[in-house]
Chain A
Amino acid sequence: MSTPDSLVPSFDDDANEGRKLAIICSKGNLDMAYPGLILGNAALGEGVETHLFFTFWGFDMITKSRMADLKFTPVGNTATHMPMGLTPLPGMTGMATKQMRKSLEDLDIPPVPEFLDQIVAAGGHLWACRLSADMNKLTEADLYDDVEGIISASDFIELTQGAQLLFI
């Protein structure tokens, strides 16, 4: 047995009791899908109750017909350090997307649908934005199966009472 003097990590399971994280995913670019997924997954691994709300372009992340086909474009993104005049050339977005997918795969970062599977398995909650569904004329049948519901902005605010919030 460990003695009272033993140095044992304090996992503080109860410290996170009641801690909640709400992540609003509003972007549909491949590169902007990952911050929310990675942080949400990390929070779940720390025992934090986590809710993701998909809205506007972020709706693509949970739309069955699009979620596996998000793209990355260097257009207007100075952080790619490419000459900006070249970025809108035909084929550039496809090439950049392919490259990014490969970089993610090399690090064993899952594609978006599989990442959502992992988040749900870890106990994460996924919510779809009502207005985005209405604008795109989509219903629950069009969305990733584990989305718990299409809810209004007020519903989301209500169910994430006391949560820390990230807008991405």
Chain B
Amino acid sequence: MTVTTIDGREVHVDAEGFLTDPTEWDEALGAALARAIGVELTERHWEVLRFLRKDYEGQGETATTRRVQTVGGFPTKEQFALFPKKPAKKMAYVAGLPKPKGCV
């Protein structure tokens, strides 16, 4: 298991850099992860991230963009605006969760 330093903190990550232990995450770390990939967080980003964290707690897997829309209530278009080009992966990364597994 790889350990990397983000924002002066050591966290466990996979080969790509996604956190492998969601309990190492807090909102300060989320802000640092967002900065690392060039996403500037607004309150709306936080709403999405909090949904992802809460959904993961209940489901044990990361919500897909489809689920973020149907269950979280964040329209697909808005997800692309908030986390451009690759919303599913970027949302998961900033939320300190694994990449979503689902196809849709």
Which A residues are within 8 Å of any B CB, using their own CB?
A: 1-3, 5-11, 13, 16, 38, 41-42, 45-47, 107-110, 115, 118, 121-123
13 pairs, A vs B, C-beta closer than 8 Å: A2-B7, A6-B6, A6-B36, A7-B2, A7-B17, A9-B89, A11-B89, A41-B104, A42-B104, A46-B86, A47-B84, A47-B86, A108-B67
Whether B36 contacts A123 by the Cβ 8 Å rule is no
User: A16 — nearest CB in chain B belongs to which residue?
Assistant: B85
Pick from A9, A42, A46: contact of B93, CB below 8 A. A9
A121 to B7, CA, bound (A): 35
The total of interchain contacts (Cβ-Cβ below 8 angstroms) comes to 79
Which B residues are within 8 Å of any A CB, using their own CB?
A: 2, 4-7, 13, 16-18, 32-33, 35-37, 65-67, 69-70, 75-77, 80, 84-90, 93, 103-104
B79 to chain A, nearest CB (A): 8
Whether A6 contacts B86 by the Cβ 8 Å rule is no
A70 to B13, CA, bound (A): 44
